[in-house]
Amino acid sequence: MKYPIGIQTFSEIITENYVYIDKTALIHQLITQGKWYFLSRPRRFGKSLLVSTFETLFQGKKQLFEHLSISTTTDYAFEQHPTIKLEFTQAEIVDADGFRNFVSEQILEVAEDQHINITSTRFERQFKELITRLYKQSGKTVALLIDEYDKPILNVLETAELTDVKNVMSTFYAVIKSLDQYLRFVFITGVSKFSKVSVFSGMNNLDDISMDSTYATLCGYTKQELTHYFNIAVDKLSLKIGISPEATYKQIEQWYNGYTFSENCEGVYNPFSILSLFKKEKFQNYWFQSATPTFLIERLKAKKYSLSQLDNLRLAPEGLNSSEPENTSIQALLVQAGYLTIKSWTGTLYGLDFPNKEVRESFYKSIVEQYAFIEKGIGPIYIEELAIAFKNKQLDQVFTTLTLFFANLPYDITIDQEKYYQSIFFAVFKLLGFMIEVEVSTNKGRIDCVVQTDKIIYVLEFKLQGSKEEALQQIKDKHYTQKYQDQGKQIVMLGVEFNQKERNIGEWIAESLS
């Protein structure tokens, strides 16, 4: 089997006999039941291939769909329409002029290809002239496809250029709305869902299908698609790793499934990870590794976001709605970018969590590396040493290893930034592989951290402004160990203080309960 990793052109996938998961039944439904669409999905989730599929359809290349679902329909004639595709990942736009120049270049390129002479000089007038001339020349309405519309905004999100870029984009999309009579189909994709007020000015006819249950599986692979298209690949993988096909499916689910794009709908597997798994025949991080979330981590730092909020996170539906780019919540960004997904729905609130093992572990590894300024690949070594020390009750080694995570912090990060230090601890403990609880609520207070191995329960209290004795006494005074005393494990209380001068873990004290 040939796996189209990095190939986003539909015609190439079909003609070169790469694996193609047939989504054309849903595509047919979109084309025949509407006209103006917006779809938000994480990166490397098949948006560009979807756009390319629409492009091929509107080019009238019926032969490429011969064995797909859409070819069996009776109401779609594969009629050819002029097609314009704008891919904003192709340009490193960093200001408003960059946006104008890129759109203008794309317009002139299409015009030249269609033997149309553009006389206007302003980019939005050039666009209007191109659409109307294509319509008059062909007698057919135009299909407009825009991939990764939000890339220009993400490029300038933390800069002074943001307002100008938003304004020029708003001008562009307002022109598109005014050309409705000349347009057959409009499809816009992106990772982020930014406010119609700030970007899609006047486009109140844009149907956002990002969380529409009907199209929840439009990108990504369902369990049925996995078993149908990749059953031979699963059998081959199971033989290589020496477990049954059933156990292999279970591992695939744990590693790569879990993305849910609407309440009470079927989840999907990450397509990039699935294709990479079967090509490499090895379980590992593929999707996350393809682009680390530097932008998101910088936003987490800037907002002093407490990572402990990611546990048992709940959010009202309006929290995931479109918003101004500079005001988009951390939770919404994490969902849109694919680091969190919908796991439950109460009827009023979403329960959010990491979709799978790949994303959870990779996210926390990235947090450790970028918060603690640890060289990539070194963090997991420290994590393994820490896990062994906890398991064997080697407390000197536990705290020697913990200090390594704070050794490289720059001097402009002060001891007063409590949430910054807490975030490093939180990520480190989440990676240990034990049962970990952070900021555990009791009727007396909130425990900083509980680490459970197979034989020992560690109850830790950290003091940024205080002594190790005060930390230990707080554990005792507030009876933090009470809820763990009937589990048949040894309980170890750990009071830990920070060294203000060294800006690192200082002295610690331990006391065991029989």
Query: What three-state secondary structure class fits 312?
Result: coil
Percent of the chain exceeding pLDDT 90 equals 69
Q: State the DSSP H helix or E strand holding residue 2, giving kind and residue range, or none if neither.
A: none
| Position 248 pLDDT exceeds 60 | yes
Cα dihedral across residues 54, 58, 59, 62: positive or negative: positive
Residue 220: pLDDT band by 50, 70, 90 thresholds? very high
Which of 70-84, 102-116, 440-454 has the weakest average pLDDT? 440-454
pLDDT score recorded for residue 435: 86
Q: For residues 181 and 139, is the Cβ–Cβ distance under 8 A?
A: no
Specify the length of the chain in residues.
Answer: 514
Round to whole Å and give the CA distance between 286 and 270. 10
| Position 416 pLDDT exceeds 60 | no
Query: What three-state secondary structure class fits 433?
Result: coil
State mean pLDDT over 276-291: 90
Query: What three-state secondary structure class fits 493?
Result: strand
Rg of the chain in Å (alpha carbons):
27
pTM for the predicted model, two decimal places: 0.90
The b-or-e profile of 367-401 (16+ CB within 10 A means b, else e) is: bbbbbbebeeeebeebbebbbebbbebebeebbeb
Round to whole Å and give the CA distance between 416 and 428. 20
Q: For residues 238 and 248, is the Cβ–Cβ distance under 8 A?
A: yes
Query: What three-state secondary structure class fits 85?
Result: strand
State mean pLDDT over 352-381: 91
Lookup: tokens for 495? 């009071």
Round to whole Å and give the CA distance between 64 and 478. 69
| Position 414 pLDDT exceeds 60 | no
Round to whole Å and give the CA distance between 428 and 433. 10
Lookup: tokens for 65? 């769909």
Round to whole Å and give the CA distance between 281 and 446. 44
Residue 130: pLDDT band by 50, 70, 90 thresholds? very high
Short-list 491, 478, 317, CA closest to 393? 491
Decide the pairing of beta strands 446-452 and 456-463.
Answer: antiparallel
pLDDT score recorded for residue 56: 98
**Architecture label for domain 386-513:** 3-Layer(aba) Sandwich (3.40)
| Position 281 pLDDT exceeds 90 | yes
C-alpha separations of 367 from 12, 298, 420 in Å: 38, 10, 11
Round to whole Å and give the CA distance between 194 and 325. 6
Round to whole Å and give the CA distance between 201 and 177. 9
Lookup: tokens for 18? 């790469």
pLDDT score recorded for residue 195: 63
| Position 128 pLDDT exceeds 80 | yes
Most confident among 86-90, 107-111, 377-381 (mean pLDDT): 107-111
CATH of the domain spanning 10-215, picked from 3.40.50, 2.60.120, 1.10.10, 1.20.950: 3.40.50
pLDDT score recorded for residue 7: 94
Q: How far from the centroid of its chain's Cα atoms is residue 83's Cα?
A: 30
Short-list 286, 397, 279, CA closest to 45? 286
Which of 163-172, 275-284, 293-302, 503-512 has the weakest average pLDDT? 293-302
State mean pLDDT over 112-141: 96
Residue 311 CB partners (closer than 8 Å, separation 6+) = 438, 439
Round to whole Å and give the CA distance between 511 and 412. 35
Lookup: tokens for 227? 């078993």
Q: For residues 320 and 192, is the Cβ–Cβ distance under 8 A?
A: no
pLDDT score recorded for residue 126: 97
- The DSSP bridge partners found for residue 351 are 314, 344
Measured in degrees and rounded to the nearest 5, phi and psi for residue 452 equal: -115, 120
pLDDT score recorded for residue 160: 92
Domain boundaries, the chain: 10-215, 223-289, 386-513
Cα torsion for 243, 247, 253, 254, to the nearest 10°?
A: -80
Which residue do the tokens 């200090």 mark? 403
pLDDT score recorded for residue 161: 94
Round to whole Å and give the CA distance between 242 and 419. 44
Lookup: tokens for 214? 């009907």
Round to whole Å and give the CA distance between 201 and 440. 45
Residue 418: pLDDT band by 50, 70, 90 thresholds? low
Residue 400: pLDDT band by 50, 70, 90 thresholds? very high
Query: What three-state secondary structure class fits 354?
Result: coil
State mean pLDDT over 187-207: 80
Question: Across the beta sheet with 183-190, what order do the strands follow?
Answer: 83-87, 142-147, 183-190, 36-40, 207-208
Round to whole Å and give the CA distance between 78 and 177. 25
Residue 53: pLDDT band by 50, 70, 90 thresholds? very high
pLDDT tens digits, 459-488: 999 887 889 999 999 999 999 999 899 899
Helix %, strand %, coil % of the chain (to 5): 45, 15, 35
pLDDT score recorded for residue 445: 73
pLDDT tens digits, 265-278: 899 999 999 999 99
C-alpha separations of 123 from 162, 163, 181, 368 in Å: 19, 18, 20, 45
pLDDT score recorded for residue 425: 86
Round to whole Å and give the CA distance between 26 and 73. 12
Q: For residues 234 and 245, is the Cβ–Cβ distance under 8 A?
A: yes
Round to whole Å and give the CA distance between 315 and 269. 23
Q: For residues 103 and 123, is the Cβ–Cβ distance under 8 A?
A: yes
pLDDT tens digits, 293-346: 677 888 888 888 888 888 889 999 888 876 677 777 888 889 988 999 999 999
| Position 390 pLDDT exceeds 70 | yes
Measured in degrees and rounded to the nearest 5, phi and psi for residue 21 equal: -90, 120
Residue 39 CB partners (closer than 8 Å, separation 6+) = 47, 50, 187, 188, 189, 208, 209, 210, 215, 218, 219
Q: For residues 365 and 431, is the Cβ–Cβ distance under 8 A?
A: yes
Lookup: tokens for 330? 């951390």
